C-alpha cells in the first residue's frame, strides 16, 4: 500500500487559499472596473451575490464544519442583526438611517446580508489580530478599529449605491458605535477560542477596503 505524502494536507489547504483569494480579488477588481466604466447599476445590483460568494469562500477556508462552529458563527450573525434592527427602529446607537434596496432580502427593515457581513468581518478581523497580538483585550480593540477603518469609505458610497442612508450627515456616534460593537463581537470571538485563516482573512478585508476606497475616490 502506497502511503500518501505527509505534506499533502498542507498543500491542499494552501491550494484552497490561493483559489479562494484569486476568486475574491477577481470579483472585486471586475466590479471596480465595471462601475468605473459606467455599468454601475448592473454591478451594484449584484452586491448580494458578491457578499454571498465571500461568505461561501469564508466557510470553505476556515472551515466551519462542526455544529459548535456553526452555532458560534450564528451567534455573531445574530448580534450584528440585533444591533442593526435596534438601530433602524430607534436611531440608537448609530443614528437615524434606513436601508435601501440593493442589499437584498430584509428582516425588520434590515438586510439579512448585513448580519452576515458583520459575522464575516469579525471572523476576518479576529484572524488578523490573532497573528499579531496575544492579549484578548488588544485583539478585540484592534478588531473594532479595523471595522471602523472599513466603515469610513463605505459611508461615502452607501447612499450612492442605495445601500443605506442617514437622515443627515453621518454622525460621530455611528463610528463610535461601530468600534464598540465591533470590539465586543471580537471579544466574543476570542472568548469562544475560534480560529481563522490569516491569509484569506487579510485578503478579504483588503479586498473590501480597496473596493470602497477606490470607488469613494473616483466617483
Helix (H) or strand (E) holding 99: strand 97-99
Neighbours of 77 (CB within 10 A): 20
Structural domains counted in the chain: 1
The reply to whether 34 falls in a domain is yes
**Rounded CA separation 126/196 (Å):** 7
Question: pTM score, two decimals?
Answer: 0.88
Q: Is residue 3 part of a domain?
A: no
pLDDT of residue 58: 86
Residue 136, helix vs strand vs coil: helix
What domain range includes position 57?
8-218
The answer to the question of residue 2 being in a domain is no
Is residue 78 a contact partner of residue 115, using CB atoms and an 8 Å limit? Answer: yes
Average pLDDT, the chain: 89
Which cell is 219 given?
Answer: 466617483
The count of other CB atoms within 10 Å of the CB of residue 91 is 15
Q: Is residue 171 part of a domain?
A: yes
**Is the residue at 124 inside a domain?**
yes
pLDDT, tens digit, for every residue of 26-84? 999 999 999 999 888 888 888 888 888 988 898 888 766 667 778 888 899 999 999 99
1 lies in a domain?
no
Task: Decide if 78 is inside a domain.
Answer: yes
pLDDT tens column, 139-167? 999 999 999 999 999 999 999 999 999 99
For residue 103, what is its C-alpha cell? 442589499
Tell me the C-alpha distance between 210 and 6, whole Å: 38
Q: Is residue 61 part of a domain?
A: yes
Amino acid at each position: 500500500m502506497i502511503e500518501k505524502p505527509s505534506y499533502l494536507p498542507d498543500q491542499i489547504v494552501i491550494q484552497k487559499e490561493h483559489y479562494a483569494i484569486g476568486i475574491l480579488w477577481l470579483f472585486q477588481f471586475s466590479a471596480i472596473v465595471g462601475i468605473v466604466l459606467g455599468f454601475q447599476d448592473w454591478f451594484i445590483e449584484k452586491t448580494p451575490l458578491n457578499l454571498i460568494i465571500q461568505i461561501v469562500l469564508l466557510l470553505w477556508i476556515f472551515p466551519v464544519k462542526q455544529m459548535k462552529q456553526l452555532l458560534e458563527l450564528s451567534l455573531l450573525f445574530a448580534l450584528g442583526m440585533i444591533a442593526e434592527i435596534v438601530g433602524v427602529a430607534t436611531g440608537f446607537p448609530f443614528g437615524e438611517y434606513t436601508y435601501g434596496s440593493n442589499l437584498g432580502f430584509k428582516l425588520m427593515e434590515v438586510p439579512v446580508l448585513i448580519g452576515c457581513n458583520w459575522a464575516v468581518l469579525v471572523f476576518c478581523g479576529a484572524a488578523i489580530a490573532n497573528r499579531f497580538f496575544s492579549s484578548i483585550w488588544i485583539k478585540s480593540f484592534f478588531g473594532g478599529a479595523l471595522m471602523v477603518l472599513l466603515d469610513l469609505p463605505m459611508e461615502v458610497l452607501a447612499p450612492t449605491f442605495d445601500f443605506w442612508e442617514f437622515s443627515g450627515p453621518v454622525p460621530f456616534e455611528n463610528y463610535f458605535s461601530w468600534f464598540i460593537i465591533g470590539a465586543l463581537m471580537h471579544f466574543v470571538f476570542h472568548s469562544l477560542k475560534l480560529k481563522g485563516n490569516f491569509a484569506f482573512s487579510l485578503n478579504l478585508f483588503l479586498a473590501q477596503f480597496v473596493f470602497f476606497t477606490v470607488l469613494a475616490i473616483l466617483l
